[in-house]
Chains A and B, each alone.
Chain A
Amino acid sequence: MKSASTLSSAFLQPAGQALPAALLALRFDRASALANLILPTRRTENWKYSAKHLKLTDDMASTLPMNASAEAAADNLGYTVVMVNGVVRPEASNYPTLEGLSIQRFSDLNEKDATLAADLLSNSISDQPAKSGSVNLSQLNGARFEDGLLIQLQPGTVLDQPLFLIHHTTASHSGSAYPCILVAAGNNSQLTVVEDYVSSGDSCVMVNTTTEFSLGDGANVTSVRLNTEGQTVQHMGTTGVRQQRSSRFESHSVGFGGTLRRHDLHVRLEGEGAECKLNGVVVTQSTQHYDNHTTIEHVAANCNSEETYRNIAADKSHAVFNGRIHIHQDAQKSNANMSNKNLLLTSGAEIDTKPELEIYADDVLCAHGATIGQLDKESIFYLVSRGLNPRDAKVLLTMAFINELVDQIPVEQVRDTAHTGLNQFFDQAFQEV
């Protein structure tokens, strides 16, 4: 039997030191804690299907250029923050100016804000001690971030338009990037954040992200996550969300596959009456891989969660969904709904889905459903008998599978990008012979 391999120490060496003391200390602690980290294998439960796609060679350990040229964000996006290889680039960004809203890069933080950032990171759900047998590679982010963004909304502050965070990774040579985003939304504040992950170049790189949301009482935060990175990018992202009383969090994620895409989304409903809605769409083709792991913890009573994920896998690609709902003992009157539907477009594609429910309260409503199917032949015949091309009929039916979720994305530019990506996907998945 092959002996377990550990994470190379090269992956624990950050490049720069341009951070406030509190964050440098935190980063140092993380690196120490991860020394000798055993890399996941197919026997690692939460990496069962993805471990074989993980290829961390030493040449990927180095930080990608922190001064790479930054393309200015498109005007039609409105408010933007551009990050290149995990480093904030104010000159390419268009920050909103709004009283009660502060957007600061880590290197600019004063001592008080740096302490807040360090607290948010050390309380981050993704960095909680891992269960035995599970490895969370996103913990690497904490040991390696070179920069990051702290977004603070004072109570009652409402940002009128979405804030686009454009994460550009330059894959012109091997290396890795560690974008880190912290959002502290005060009581009754409102914000929509779009995380847009893109890349250029075709070398093997790793993008390892952390995003943390902290929602005060009555806060309303929408998070949109779009991943259109290139094929050679190994993406491992973690989003952690803590919600206080009567807050609402919505997440819309759209992912196109790559050599490895992994997103862990962990929501804790900590205050009574909090609610979250998590939507996800994934499409994969050729030999791509995409793995979504979600966890929703009902900690307090009277919280609602609603989760809908759809995967479509073509060719020999592989999509994975693991959805865990954990209802704590005190979380009476919890209402949790989880649905995962999957569409296999070929016999060579693979989809694995696993709902997990852990319920310790006795007065809860908890429903889950998972299906895997193919395009319905009767439906195709019906459409084709009305004169449609078989290809168009298949596209229409495939689109119908995810339409509802794409339409719900509250940001027009993201819907447009999603449609463009989906059309390219259809062009390749349904080539006319």
Chain B
Amino acid sequence: MLSIKNLHACVEEKQILNGLNLEIKAGEVHAIMGPNGSGKSTLSQVLAGNEAFDVTKGEVTFNGDNLLDLATEERAREGIFLAFQYPVEIPGVSNLQFLRTSVNAMRKHHGIEEMNAAEFMKLAKEVSKQVDLDPAFLKRGVNEGFSGGEKKRNEVMQALLLQPKLAILDETDSGLDIDALKVVADGVNALRAPDRSILMITHYQRLLDHIVPDYVHVLSEGKIIKSGGPELALELEAKGYGWLGIEDQVAANHE
């Protein structure tokens, strides 16, 4: 599904990723953990195609295609979905209008008939219930005035609507209380399918209690320094990153 080889990337001339390698096969769930500043979010932004990040070296293939050659919207239409760590508030654009435009952009790309407003409304209402969001949210501006937890649920709702091939979840667990975490995890688990892969980026082990990954990777200074099964996350939780000889890189950079 996704193959990343020797990926180097920088933002505003600051090198963040330094030769990252990762293979994700269809149906697999991977978790990437790592201290602040290790490059977790950069990886997700680079995969989704944020032009603020420059790829300086390496290659990424997605189902055999060179992902880095594709424009942001083409990546989305080919099935890459990024649940944002900080979803943007867009007052004046209704959630419903945005979601329908998005779903129809995908459908058009795949030669499927576009959905009319009534059909879409029905679908959106069903999916919003799945993540415990009041359908009234659909009428509001995109993420406008949503609480942190509502924004994250809205991201998962979008993933459920768009049915991506690869869902990248960037700290979708941060800022959630235990009930919201459960709702979000149920949503993500509902996404698990033999033809779909999930890449979870997280700081904490607690999400992995609810969504058990097939693989856990530790990212440090822009490289994966250790990979293992779910037990690796538990070990990290117990021993901290210091156990692997790394420290919080934001803190380290500030010294």
Contacts and interface: CB of A to CB of B under 8 A. Distances in A.
Interface residues of B, number: 29
Given A397-B93, A400-B93, A386 B102 contact: yes
Contact residues of A: prevailing secondary structure: helix
Interface stretch (B21-29, B83-91, B199-207, B224-232): B83-91
Contacts of A379: 88, 90
A378 interface: yes
Interface in B75-114: 75-77, 82, 84, 87-88, 90-93, 97-98, 101-102, 105-106, 109
Contacts of A400: 90-93, 141
B60 interface: no
A382 B102 contact: no
Contact of B92 (A377, A389, A392, A403): A403
Nearest to A391: B73
B87 A382 contact: yes
Nearest to A398: B92
B138 interface: no
A388 B101 contact: yes
A403 B71 CA distance: 29
Contacts of B87: 382
Given A384-B76, A386-B76, A387-B73, A392 B90 contact: no
Nearest to B89: A379
Nearest to B104: A387
A403 B50 CA distance: 27
A251 B71 CA distance: 44
Given A381-B50, A388-B101, 11 more contacts: A382-B84, A383-B90, A385-B73, A386-B158, A387-B102, A387-B106, A387-B162, A388-B105, A396-B97, A400-B93, A403-B93
What are the nearest 10 A-B pairs in CB distance? Answer: A400-B92, A387-B76, A387-B105, A386-B102, A382-B88, A400-B93, A384-B72, A403-B92, A384-B73, A387-B77
29 contacts: A376-B88, A379-B90, A381-B50, A381-B52, A382-B84, A382-B87, A382-B90, A383-B98, A384-B49, A384-B71, A384-B76, A385-B48, A385-B72, A386-B76, A386-B102, A386-B162, A387-B73, A387-B162, A388-B73, A389-B73, A390-B72, A392-B105, A396-B97, A396-B101, A397-B93, A399-B93, A400-B91, A400-B93, A400-B141
